[in-house]
């Protein structure tokens, strides 16, 4: 075993060495390359830490699920947080709809495994987007951050014949309502992705093979940008997709499809860059980057805005919540075969 581990470690070190060397070469030649898909001239830009004096909201959701013999059960909740900043310090905070919201329940019958996974994701997204719309309507923050993308992911879209396709269509409509509400109340909508595995930025670079070669093969954006970006730098802004009207998900977002932009930002030295998504036509790239940068430096090994950390902690759900639901169901459905738990969860051995 130890020999295999040693070999894995050597392979990783070789990959990191080659990506570090490529990053240094790109930094040296950055002024010689023009990226047609970039909204800015340079490959990367310095980000200034500013004094924050506005209201910043964040939304996150938690979900628990269990498959029973005859049905699938979901419980979840979504939480909105508003931090009122003055001189970069939190002077007041609010929660929406409350600090510990009531749980929402959803039950489905007859879903196969693929449909069940889609249903879980869409159930969570619907709750988060409804919460985000509500917090903008009530509190009208200057910024609203979502934990994750500001658009559904390709993996969230069910097949045309899926039982949960109507739920996806409903969620796609709610995203458009989210954008409209942000525009109506002059709220800058941001998606902050902590663990992005996208390759869009690398694909833009790979079009310049004379500089990049094949050094980005099989690398995610953040994996390479860890070496390319220095603390307090961001990439140029670029579109979420080079063909929004043909993108599998963006095409379902109507006029907003080509307005979703993104960049990567390295807020602390010892953590990976974070991906920031936003809608075009609002605040400038530098202003958005400065806010996210200023709020993401609580820990030199963990770059994430404080208000999103609070939303995550409030939304997190304890597994005991599902146990309590199971116990309550057992009392009411003691003779029901549908309420039997799956065998893999009730083994009398191991």
pLDDT score recorded for residue 340: 63
State mean pLDDT over 305-309: 95
Distances (CA, A) of 161 to 27, 166, 169, 250, 293: 48, 10, 13, 20, 43
- Burial class, 61, CB count within 10 angstroms (exposed 0-12 / middle 13-18 / buried 19+): buried
Structure tokens belonging to residue 290? 């400065």
pLDDT score recorded for residue 3: 87
pLDDT score recorded for residue 229: 95
Among 28, 44, 22, 102, CA closest to 237: 44
Mean of pLDDT over the chain: 90
10 DSSP β-pair partners: none
**pLDDT tens per residue, range 143-152:** 999 999 999 9
Longest dimension (CA), the chain: 73
- Burial class, 50, CB count within 10 angstroms (exposed 0-12 / middle 13-18 / buried 19+): middle
With tokens 């628990």, the residue in question is: 64
State mean pLDDT over 160-185: 96
Give one word for 178, left, alpha or beta, with left for phi > 0 and alpha for psi -120 to 50. Answer: alpha
**pLDDT tens per residue, range 173-182:** 999 999 999 9
Among 263, 199, 260, 257, CA closest to 237: 263
Q: Report residue 192's pLDDT band, with 50, 70 and 90 as the boundaries.
A: very high
pLDDT score recorded for residue 151: 96
pLDDT score recorded for residue 274: 95
pLDDT score recorded for residue 197: 87
Among 228, 140, 222, CA closest to 188: 140
**pLDDT tens per residue, range 227-258:** 999 999 999 999 999 899 889 999 999 999 99
Q: Report residue 322's pLDDT band, with 50, 70 and 90 as the boundaries.
A: confident
Write the CATH number of the domain with boundaries 44-329.
Answer: 3.30.2170
Interhelix angle 165-184/113-139, rounded to 10 degrees, is 20
118 prior amide bond cis, ω within 30: no
Print the SS3 string covering 2-17: HHHHHHHHHHHHHHHH
pLDDT score recorded for residue 337: 67
Residue 343 pLDDT exceeds 80: no
Residue 118 pLDDT exceeds 60: yes
List, in sequence order, every beta strand (DSSP E) within 233-292: 233-235, 238-239, 260-266, 274-279
CB 268 within 8 A of CB 300: yes
Instruction: Output DSSP code: residue 146.
Output: E
**pLDDT tens per residue, range 45-81:** 999 998 999 999 999 999 998 877 667 888 999 999 9
Residue 341 pLDDT exceeds 80: no
Does residue 101 or residue 94 have the better pLDDT? 94
Question: In 78-214, which residue ranges form alpha helices assigned H by DSSP?
Answer: 113-139, 165-184, 200-206, 209-212
Q: How many CA atoms lie within 13 A of 42 on its CB side?
A: 10
Sign of the alpha-carbon dihedral angle for 105, 124, 81, 323: positive
| pTM assigned to the model | 0.91
């Amino acid at each position: 075993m130890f020999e295999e581990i040693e070999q894995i470690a050597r392979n990783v070190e070789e990959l990191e060495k080659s990506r570090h060397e490529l990053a240094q070469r790109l930094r040296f030649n950055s002024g010689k390359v023009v990226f047609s898909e970039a909204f800015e001239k340079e490959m990367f830009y310095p980000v200034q830490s500013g004094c924050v004096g506005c209201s910043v909201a964040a939304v996150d959701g938690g979900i628990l699920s269990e498959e029973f013999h005859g049905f699938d059960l979901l419980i979840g909740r979504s939480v909105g947080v508003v931090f009122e900043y003055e001189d970069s310090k939190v002077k007041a905070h609010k929660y929406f709809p409350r600090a510990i919201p009531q749980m929402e329940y959803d039950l489905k019958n007859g879903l196969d495994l693929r449909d069940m996974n889609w249903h879980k994701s869409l159930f969570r997204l619907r709750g988060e987007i409804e919460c985000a719309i509500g917090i903008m309507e009530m509190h009208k923050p200057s910024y609203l951050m979502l934990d994750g993308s500001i658009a559904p992911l390709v993996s969230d879209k069910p097949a045309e014949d899926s039982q949960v396709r109507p739920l996806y269509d409903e969620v796609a409509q709610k995203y458009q309502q989210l954008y409209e509400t942000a525009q109506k109340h002059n709220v800058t909508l941001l998606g902050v992705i902590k663990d992005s595995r996208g390759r869009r930025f690398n694909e833009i670079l790979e079009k310049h093979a004379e500089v990049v070669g094949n050094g980005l093969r099989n690398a995610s954006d953040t994996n390479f940008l860890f070496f390319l970006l220095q603390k307090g730098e961001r990439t140029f802004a670029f579109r979420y997709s080079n063909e929004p009207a043909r993108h599998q998900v963006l095409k379902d977002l109507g006029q907003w499809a080509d307005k979703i932009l993104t960049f990567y930002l390295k807020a602390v030295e010892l953590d990976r860059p974070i991906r920031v998504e936003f809608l075009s036509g609002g605040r400038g790239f530098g202003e958005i980057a400065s806010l996210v940068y200023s709020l993401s430096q609580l820990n030199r090994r963990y770059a994430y805005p404080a208000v999103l950390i609070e939303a995550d902690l409030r939304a997190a759900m304890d597994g005991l919540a599902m146990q309590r639901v199971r116990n309550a169901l057992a009392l009411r459905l003691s003779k029901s075969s549908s309420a039997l738990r799956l065998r893999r969860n009730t083994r009398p051995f191991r």
